A and B are shown apart, each in its own frame.
Chain A
Amino acid sequence: MADLKRTLQPGRWLDLKRLFGLIICLPMLVAPLSAATLAVLYPEAPPPYKQVFDQIVDGIDERHADRLIRYPLETRYNPEQVLAQLDRDQVDMVITLGRRGYSLINDINGHYPFVSGALPLTPNGTLSGVSLITDPDNLFSQLNVLSPVTKRVFVLYTAKSRWMVELAKVSAKKKGLELWAYEVNTLSDAVRKYEEVLDNARNGSDAIWLPLDKVTANETVILPMLLREAWDRRLVMFSSKPSHVKRGALFSIYPNNQQSGERLAEMVKELFSGKTMPGVEPSRSLHLGVNLRTAVHLGMEYSPTLTRSFYRTFPQP
């Protein structure tokens, strides 16, 4: 080192030190934006549910070009071990999928920017993610396509679903639909209100929308009653829950897992970069599931082109 100092002149030695420091500091300046490590916490699920999480992670991987670490969580996992592993892996941001990953948000909140997915999330001001709840705008768009004669939509909801109904009101107005929304508190209130709605509903122009609500779309009491009455009265009934299509609802929208994954990657990157707080977004999937038997019963005829565009149809051949 002494020989080197003697060889180099003092002025030139100063220039070299600046250049050396610049070379060392350059990666540190660009790293947060271009080489962030993303952790995905998701449940170790059995088939066919494993495929859902794989598709979401594929979507995340599609949008996240840098280091992506997958953390499959077993049924009885140790949260402390997972958090320690996140530290050891020098993770920069986290995406939780499903209830098992969601249960860690209290631990990682404040340590890592995170978003959640694969759950029926509702906005609470602090949480960001993609909800499984379908965007009513999409539902109403499909309603206009599948049942163009429908003008009035009846919906019962509880306080938990109020945010969605607010979106629906805006969307219905845009779509030229008249939304009759009733807030209830209990299941018995819902039963009585549905009886009123059914008594007043007109077949052809009226439709009933079942939101993703455990009270107003109770599958033990409400769903069987509505399916029977709607069938008897030839009323259009569509649902925010895809499994209702199989049981007799006219249509619903299945989540697009790949698309959700891509959107989650974008949202966590936005959080990491500190640009915005994305909040909870409804699912904007267009994977339409249609019960053709119900459609026929309601007197609707769909062109082959339209039918081929359906993501799933029931009864399945």
Chain B
Amino acid sequence: MLFVGNQNSLRKQLLTFLMVSIALLSLTSSIVAAWIAVNQSRQVLEHHSLQIAGNLAHQSLLSLITESKENADQALDQAMAFNDVSGVAIFTERMLLLQQRGEINWDTDQLKDWFAHPVPVLAADNRDHWIITSPVFLREEQDDYDEFELSGSQEELMGYVMLNVSKDSLQTLTTNLFSYNLMIGLGFATLLVWLQSVGLKRITRPLLNLSQSMNEARTSGEHNYANVEGPMEVRQMAESYNAMMQVLEQQEDKLVKLNSGLETEVAIRTKELTHARDTALVAVRTQSEFLANISHELRTPLQATMGYIELVIEELEDEAMDEPVEDLREAMRASTRLLALINMILDLAKCESGKMELMPQEISLHTLTQETESVIRPLASKRQNAFKVYLPAEDHLLQVDTEKAQQVLLNLLSNACKFTEQGTVLLSASVEDGFVIWQVSDTGIGIPKEQQGLIFDKFRQIDGSVKRKYGGTGLGLAISKHFTEMMGGTLDVFSETGQGTTFIFRLPLVAPADTVDQTSENLLSKKLSSTDLEKL
């Protein structure tokens, strides 16, 4: 909008509005005044022309009575003496030309229409001239009061007169009126605009000063006070502004004081929290390092012991001493379980200390699943469980850390076989939206709702009775959860007590890029056997 643009000052907007209003007013009044004047002039000229026609008709009477051109000359000369009359003509009652003067043209066919009126009329209104006609009557003149006459007045048509009235003077008058009125109007408008500008400058100065004070306060951030001046409304605004500044100043002082106290307290708390965090991190790291160290320290002599036991078994078998061999084999199995436990503790420690790394490899979905199936099937049959595997018809190539993925599957399936007797264990695989989804279901004892959130904690089993009945370390699901998250997947559980349990294991078909090509230690130095899994 021209008048209410936010970019312009109030004075400029008011001035623009007034300027346009005055200009419109001046223009309109000038045009209207000129139009009225021209219209009146036109009426006057028309009336004047009709009068001239009437007079000419009166003066033409003698010439028409005598049909004398000489008698017509004087009447025509008198009519031609008028400025706007450019031509005159006298016609007989048979519409034949008697005499004419000046420039006047007519079409004989038009005469009948032009002469059809009983009084002087404007017969034709052309662009630059009028044609005025009047009949010429011979009337019996009577006194004003006709009671002294035997009969009323009678009139006889003697002929017609025609005038050609030029519009030059009217057009000149029109042009002059419009141009002079416009010039005067515009001059007056300019003067008014100048006066308005001066007046508005004086009126809006206090408002401008107030605006500048506010703007300075905004840009500098200081509490500038405005001068209280100008009209009542502006003074009220300045007083309100000053009061607001005063309140703001007081509040800011309070805020500064409060802020400094808060900053001190926050610094103290931050220091305490940092210390606690550092302590916790150190404790975790120490714990993990301890676990790693102790596991390593335990594994070395254990492996040596197991090696010696195996040597002794071989020697005793050679000597056919079967009885001690069986005892040593039992010792060997116990050592193997202990080694598996130590390996798992080592893996968990590595995970928690951030030292576990991924090593993605390409493997087909069918291969990975079938390898897992071959490991688990003996375990399932041990408790008379039916083990079913469902694979998609179309095979897919996976790029995953094969060892960790298979370990997760083995952990889930071994758990299912462990907690299910004479039931069904189901492994199905599918591919959906760039993810491979394994579903491990059983018809075992199930997991209570309140325990479902805790089963992924390390060393956690449902309760002591379970541990006693089924054995295990309580580390399998914790490690599985760690591995799944490392590989960018998810592991979820759905279970009802006594109805069975279902785990959903999802992995991206392609491992995250930052894990590819990284050298990694093969933490699982060997594949777990079904016997090892049973011990997890």
Which A residues have a C-beta under 8 Å from some C-beta of B?
A: 43, 45-46, 49, 98-100, 102, 118-121, 132, 187-188, 191-192, 214, 218-221, 225, 243
Query: B66 contacts A191, CB within 8 Å?
Result: yes
Residues of B within 8 A of A98 (CB): 147-148
Residues of B within 8 A of A219 (CB): 141
Query: A120 contacts B148, CB within 8 Å?
Result: yes
What residue of chain B has the Cβ atom nearest to residue A119's Cβ? Answer: B150
Residues of B within 8 A of A225 (CB): 62
- Taking the complex as formed, is B205 at the interface, i.e. its CB lies under 8 A from any CB of chain A? no
Query: B148 contacts A118, CB within 8 Å?
Result: yes
- Taking the complex as formed, is B349 at the interface, i.e. its CB lies under 8 A from any CB of chain A? no
What residue of chain B has the Cβ atom nearest to residue A195's Cβ? Answer: B66
Query: B65 contacts A188, CB within 8 Å?
Result: yes
* Per-position 1/0 for B57-94, Cβ under 8 A of A: 01001100111000000000000000000000000000
What residue of chain B has the Cβ atom nearest to residue A190's Cβ? Answer: B65
Query: B150 contacts A214, CB within 8 Å?
Result: no
Query: A220 contacts B150, CB within 8 Å?
Result: no
* Per-position 1/0 for B131-158, Cβ under 8 A of A: 0000000111101011111110000000
Residues of B within 8 A of A45 (CB): 145, 147
Give the docked Cα–Cα distance between A192 and B71 (Å): 12
What residue of chain A has the Cβ atom nearest to residue B145's Cβ? Answer: A49
Query: B66 contacts A99, CB within 8 Å?
Result: no
Q: Contact partner of B149 among A43, A46, A120, CB < 8 A?
A: A120
The binding surface of chain B is classed by DSSP as mixed
Give the docked Cα–Cα distance between A218 and B62 (Å): 11
Residues of A within 8 A of B146 (CB): 99
Q: Report the minimal beta-carbon distance from B137 to chain A, rounded to whole angstroms.
A: 9
Residues of B within 8 A of A187 (CB): 65, 138
* Per-position 1/0 for B485-526, Cβ under 8 A of A: 000000000000000000000000000000000000000000
**B interface residues, tally (CB under 8 Å):** 18
Q: Report the minimal beta-carbon distance from B459 to chain A, rounded to whole angstroms.
A: 138
Residues of B within 8 A of A100 (CB): 147
Using A221-B61, A221-B65 as known contacts, list a sample of 4 further A-B pairs with CB atoms less than 8 Å apart, ordered by residue number in A.
Answer: A99-B151, A118-B148, A120-B148, A192-B66
Q: Report the minimal beta-carbon distance from A116 to chain B, rounded to whole angstroms.
A: 10
* A-B pairs under 8 A by CB, number: 51
Query: B147 contacts A118, CB within 8 Å?
Result: yes
Q: Report the minimal beta-carbon distance from A140 to chain B, rounded to whole angstroms.
A: 24
Residues of A within 8 A of B147 (CB): 43, 45, 49, 98-100, 118
Q: Contact partner of B141 among A99, A120, A121, A218, CB < 8 A?
A: A218
Query: A220 contacts B148, CB within 8 Å?
Result: no
Query: B140 contacts A99, CB within 8 Å?
Result: no
Residues of B within 8 A of A192 (CB): 66
Residues of B within 8 A of A220 (CB): 58, 61, 138-139, 141
Residues of A within 8 A of B141 (CB): 218-220
Residues of A within 8 A of B150 (CB): 99, 102, 119-121
Which of B61, B65, B139, B150 counts the most chain A CB atoms within 10 A? B65
Which of A46, A99, A225 counts the most chain B CB atoms within 10 A? A99
Give the docked Cα–Cα distance between A188 and B159 (Å): 14
Which of B67, B138, B146, B150 counts the most chain A CB atoms within 10 A? B150
Give the docked Cα–Cα distance between A218 and B147 (Å): 19
What residue of chain A has the Cβ atom nearest to residue B140's Cβ? Answer: A214
Residues of B within 8 A of A43 (CB): 147
Q: Contact partner of B138 among A99, A102, A120, A221, CB < 8 A?
A: A221
Residues of B within 8 A of A99 (CB): 146-151
Give the docked Cα–Cα distance between A64 and B148 (Å): 24
Residues of B within 8 A of A191 (CB): 62, 65-66
Which of B62, B66, B147 counts the most chain A CB atoms within 10 A? B147
Cβ-closest 10 pairs across A and B: A219-B141, A98-B147, A188-B65, A49-B145, A214-B140, A43-B147, A99-B147, A221-B62, A187-B65, A191-B66
Give the docked Cα–Cα distance between A99 and B143 (Å): 13
Q: Given the interface contacts A187-B65, A220-B61, does A132 sit within 8 Å of B148 by beta carbon?
A: yes
